[in-house]
Amino acid sequence: MAETHAAAFAEARPWSEAEFAALLAQPHCHAIGDARSFALIRVIADEAELLTIATRPDARRQGLARARMEAWQARARATGADRAFLEVAADNVAALALYKTCGFAVEGRRKGYYPRAGSAAVDAIVMARALT
């Protein structure tokens, strides 16, 4: 997962193997996917959160991210969630488009949340949708 994340997020600090291991050790975290593309979610009570989703650059434009979006939302529903949340960098146009087509709507903004090397930090867009 750390390798895929690093390849997918070359402009940001990727998550380490230790960070993934710590998250996956938590009882409410679930990983969906494979080495080409994965989603990592947390489901607590009736809420699900997409922690990260990543697709290797050489596997993009094959529908993998959309498949992971559908799969993690199905897993969240199956474990009792009726609402889903995620956040995305405001400059990640492709992800914003994907999330909107998956039914997510903007709920808020975190100013200057994502640092960028050599430029100003980018806002985080908080998005949500009902899973019922």
Instruction: Report if pTM > 0.85.
Output: yes
Question: Which tens digits make up the pLDDT trace of 14-40?
Answer: 888 999 999 999 999 999 999 899 999
SS (H, E, C) the chain: CHHHHHHHCCCCCCCCHHHHHHHHCCCCEEEEECCCEEEEEEEECCEEEEEEEEECHHHCCCCHHHHHHHHHHHHHHHCCCCEEEEEEECCCHHHHHHHHHCCCEEEEEEEEEEEECCEEEEEEEEEEEECC
Question: Is 114 an active-site residue?
Answer: no
Which member of 3, 17, 87, 113 is catalytic?
Answer: 87
Q: Across residues 77-97, what is the average pLDDT? A: 94
Which member of 17, 19, 47, 99 is catalytic?
Answer: 99
Question: Is 99 an active-site residue?
Answer: yes
Domain containing 42: what range?
A: 2-130
Domains identified in the chain, total number: 1
CATH number for the domain spanning 119: value is: 3.40.630.30
Q: Across residues 43-71, what is the average pLDDT? A: 93
Q: Across residues 91-96, what is the average pLDDT? A: 92
Question: Which tens digits make up the pLDDT trace of 71-81?
Answer: 999 999 999 99
